Structure 1
């Protein structure tokens, strides 16, 4: 394998309860699954590493870091710094915040010292890395992203009758005070505050009278999908009203930095993040919620959502989505039949073919079709020749 740097990559399907049943199997050419297929992981994260040539990708990189990653990336990161995924979001994900690098290192060391097993349900830190991430929509996509600007949040607290009592909290204590209040509120009080709202929005949701840009739509869906129903209302419903509801059409992207609270609501996307699985949750989930840790890492500030459209590079054959993250960059390669894309990998690259047929030639020759993934190690010179209209998503390091 020594001189070869271009491989098919076998990723790992993750079966989380919120995923759809058909999108990922159809992409990968697999029969429909009995259980939901939520995410397809392409990477070297220790909990679900991909394989190349029958070898685990993390082991291949660990055996020859400079050859696989390049000197600079090997020195800076010591591992593949990103994790690439395809997501199929059928039901809303939990509201979540990701820690900074420094805080992840501290939290991981603290939980290790406390002897909390890595797979324990009350574990916050699965590794010592930060987790900025970018998603590119593959369908119409809806998400929650950061706190509403002040005037919009004041309007919500003024016009939603159940939230009027919270308006003075926001006036006096700002974003932090408001969020702390609802996250620390005893469950009985959460039920008392939210029940009239639930009784109002659920019938409207079930009758199909609400639009997706209206927080009542997602509150209605959260209640309709919750096995506890009206008995134990989820405090994440407050966040649906306090955060920006963002719509991205196919090809549009959203970047989430450390500390920005967010939740995916519906649709399919290609997601690229730092190589981490650290999540601090804030609701819409039966999983562990550590409110103290969540409040410590959330950025309590107005967020004005910024939709990234991508910029053309490589003579227009590629759309690049720039972010401040040093760990990763995502781009889309769009080729017409007969087009040839030529490149030298200045960093380890991971590709997935979303559509079409092509042939990649470098240190190996790989026919490509929809659903196939490829790993190109540092320094690989290759060409991709399209036989049909072809769309490839590519992860790399900036």
Structure 2
């Protein structure tokens, strides 16, 4: 497969280039390697299934020409004639925006309402690009830092109180007087909707207090330091204050986070393999110059509080480690073919995508010669090609539907 890179400003100039064996640093930031059949940047199939010398074929077109053969009848019955997941390699050198994704019901209703209103699909103020939810999983390839979900209110009260910032007192009272989901909602709502005349002096005071507390070696130094970094990159943005209400999570390589509907999150830095339902629906909450629809965001957000479960892969046979999630659209596994006596058999009944992140793998199927997939490269295995076996001294991520 040939895959496209999206060059967002927050991307790394080294991570994706090194993965792909290209010169570093790259000329421009490289943020996301898209692998799949999203209409915005579909992968192209090179060789496999095509006559020698023929032009690469879009995976979208390949699936459209034979949905049942490429996706399998069960996936077509469940999701229709489009690949239900999108796989990415994400490389963040700077923080992404605060964002959340809707439930399936919210997405369907929101998309229908904006269609009825005649809002252009590419309009800056458009919230819903399709009628699907967007659960996602991020698996760390390097140490990976993120903000994810709302912290336990008692800890947040302690964190804010330790700042010793008088300008925060009236807002702190919203949470200390009601240290639960409702108090978290009230405080977040006050922050995200604050007019600039009130926000700017409050931000200045909070950032000055963060400087003092970092120097003092507070137990919340990591959170205060993150706030300072966000304040420098996004001056005057309410998301800088909102970040103080959230869990700051550090993933070690191979650990993962599952982000369901309504989870407010922002990736801060690191490289990871990301898989998600094939959707573009994003409700932003700050740390961005893009459109923020506060009422719609508040309707979508899940204000559950507490620590975020970090997912460690579980063994699923020789050389196979699986990341359990409730998603039906996708499943992700890590494969170490050399740890299995005869390699790993890829016997899923639906579509499969292979991504090699280290070493070189060989795919053995019906063809006389195995397909060699080196580091940074990918391969598409349609549902009607059963019994493919993968071997080699390699680290491989396998993406499938979750059926």
1:11 alignment counterpart: 3
Query: Contact 1:122/1:288 (CA < 8 Å) preserved in 2?
Result: yes
SS in 1 for 2:336: strand
2:124 to 121, 127, 130: 121
2:375 to 370, 377, 383: 370
Report which stretch shifted further, 137-146 or 339-348: 339-348
SS in 1 for 2:328: coil
1:75 to 74, 77, 85: 77
SS in 2 for 1:91: coil
1:169 alignment counterpart: 174
Deviation at 1:131, TM superposition (A): 0.5
Deviation at 1:125, TM superposition (A): 1.2
2:233 alignment counterpart: 225
Give the Cα separation in 2 of the matches to 1:286 and 1:320.
Answer: 37
After TM superposition, the structure 1 = structure 2 runs for residues 201-212 of structure 1, keeping only pairs within 5 Å, are 201=210
Give the Cα separation in 1 of the matches to 2:334 and 2:249.
Answer: 22
After TM superposition, the structure 1 = structure 2 runs for residues 331-370 of structure 1, keeping only pairs within 5 Å, are 331-336=333-338, 340-364=343-367, 365-370=370-375
Query: Contact 1:157/1:166 (CA < 8 Å) preserved in 2?
Result: no
After TM superposition, the structure 1 = structure 2 runs for residues 139-150 of structure 1, keeping only pairs within 5 Å, are 139-150=142-153
Q: Extract unaligned runs of 5+ from structure 1.
A: 1-8
2:114 to 111, 128, 132: 111
Give the Cα separation in 2 of the matches to 1:208 and 1:30.
Answer: 43
Query: Contact 2:101/2:283 (CA < 8 Å) preserved in 1?
Result: yes
Give the Cα separation in 1 of the matches to 2:76 and 2:29.
Answer: 36
Deviation at 1:20, TM superposition (A): 0.5
Query: Contact 2:283/2:297 (CA < 8 Å) preserved in 1?
Result: yes
After TM superposition, the structure 1 = structure 2 runs for residues 239-250 of structure 1, keeping only pairs within 5 Å, are 239-250=242-253
Instruction: Give TM-score, length-normalised by structure 1.
Output: 0.90
Query: Contact 1:202/1:224 (CA < 8 Å) preserved in 2?
Result: no
Query: Contact 1:138/1:268 (CA < 8 Å) preserved in 2?
Result: yes
> What are the Cα deviations for residues 145-164 of structure 1, in whole angstroms up to 9, with x where unaligned?
10111211222343232432
Query: Contact 1:133/1:273 (CA < 8 Å) preserved in 2?
Result: yes
Residues 211, 286 of structure 1: alpha-carbon distance in 2 compared, 3 angstrom cutoff = farther
SS in 1 for 2:90: strand
Deviation at 1:210, TM superposition (A): 8.7
SS in 2 for 1:214: helix
1:27 aligns with 2:12: no
Give the Cα separation in 2 of the matches to 1:203 and 1:269.
Answer: 33
2:103 to 100, 103, 117: 100
Report which stretch shifted further, 158-167 or 117-126: 158-167
Give the Cα separation in 1 of the matches to 2:358 and 2:121.
Answer: 37
Q: Extract unaligned runs of 5+ from structure 2.
A: 47-55
Q: RMSD value over aligned CA atoms?
A: 2.1
Report which stretch shifted further, 242-251 or 362-371: 362-371
Aligned residues: 381
Give the Cα separation in 1 of the matches to 2:220 and 2:401.
Answer: 35
Give the Cα separation in 1 of the matches to 2:383 and 2:220.
Answer: 43
